[in-house]
Amino acid sequence: MTTTTFADLGVPAPLVAVLAADGKTEAFPIQADTLPDTLSGRDVLGRGKTGSGKTIAFSLPLVARLSDGAPSRGRSSRPRGLVLAPTRELATQIAATLKPLADSAGLAITTIFGGVSQSRQVSALRAGVDIVVACPGRLDDLMKQGEISLDRIEITVLDEADHMADLGFLPVVTRIMDKTPTGGQRMLFSATLDNGVDKLVKRFLQNEAMHSVDEATSHVAAMTHHVFEVRDADAKKDLVTALASGRGRRILFTRTKHQAKRLAKQLTSSGVPAVDLHGNLSQPARDRNLAAFGSGEVRVLVATDVAARGVHVDDVELVVHVDPPAEHKAYLHRSGRTARAGSAGDVVTVMLTEQAGDVKVLLRNAAITVTPQKVTADSPAVTDLVGERAERIAPADAPAASGGGRQGGAPAGGGRSGAQKSGGQRRTQAPSGESAGGGGRRRRGRGNGSAGDGAGAVAGQQRDGQQGGQGRRRGGQGGQGQNGQGGQGRGGQSGNGSHGGRGRDAVDGGRHGTERSSAKQSPSRGGDNRRSGGQIRMGDLVNGSTSRGLGSRRARG
- Rounded to whole angstroms, the Cα distance separating 83 from 135 reads 9
The answer to whether residues 439 and 415 touch, using CB atoms and an 8 Å cutoff, is no
Separation of alpha carbons 82 and 75, rounded Å: 16
For 64, left (φ over 0), alpha (ψ -120 to 50), or beta?
alpha
- Strand ranges (DSSP E) for 353-413? 373-374
Contact 432, 405 (CB under 8 A): no
Q: What are phi and psi of 202, to 5 degrees?
A: -65, -35
Backbone torsions φ then ψ of 89, nearest 5 degrees: -65, -45
Angstrom distances, CA of residue 472 to CA of 311, 345, 447? 43, 52, 20
Looking at 78-195, list the stretches that DSSP marks H as alpha helix, in order from N- to C-terminal side: 88-104, 119-127, 136-144, 161-166, 170-178
In the chain the domains, ranked by start, together with CATH numbers, are: 13-212 (3.40.50.300), 230-397 (3.40.50.300), 410-557 (no CATH)
Neighbours of 170 (CB within 10 A): 18
On the CB side of 496, how many CA atoms lie within 13 Å of its CA? 22
Per-residue model confidence as pLDDT tens digits over 203-236: 999 999 998 765 444 445 578 999 999 999 999 9
Residues recorded for the chain: 557
Q: Does the pLDDT at position 395 exceed 70?
A: yes
Going by C-alpha positions, the residue among 287, 283, 329 that lies closest to residue 305 is 329
Contact at 8 Å (CB) between 452 and 443? no
Is pLDDT of 313 > 50?
A: yes
pLDDT tens per residue across span 319-371: 999 999 988 888 988 888 887 766 788 999 999 999 999 999 999 998 899 99
- Give the three-state DSSP class for 1: coil
Indicate the helix (H) or strand (E) that contains 276: strand 274-277
- Residue type, position 238, single letter: D
Q: Determine contact, residues 66/122, Cβ cutoff 8 Å.
A: no
Exposure class string for 399-415: b at 16+ Cβ within 10 A, else e: bbbbbbbbbbbebbbbb
Q: Which residues contact 335 (CB under 8 A, 6 or more apart)?
A: 219, 223, 225, 319, 321, 347
Q: pLDDT tens across 62-116, in order?
A: 999 999 765 555 555 799 999 999 988 889 989 999 999 999 999 999 999 998 9
Residue 214: the pLDDT is 56
Judge whether residue 147 has pLDDT over 80: yes
How many whole angstroms separate alpha carbon 56 and alpha carbon 38? 12
The predicted structure's pLDDT at residue 427? 38
Distance between CA atoms of residues 506 and 493, nearest Å: 16
Give the whole-angstrom CA distance, residue 89 versus residue 133.
11
Residue 248: CA count within 13 A, CB half-sphere: 18
More confident residue, 272 or 337: 272
pLDDT tens column, 491-538: 444 344 334 444 433 333 333 343 333 334 444 444 444 433 444 333
pLDDT for position 202: 92
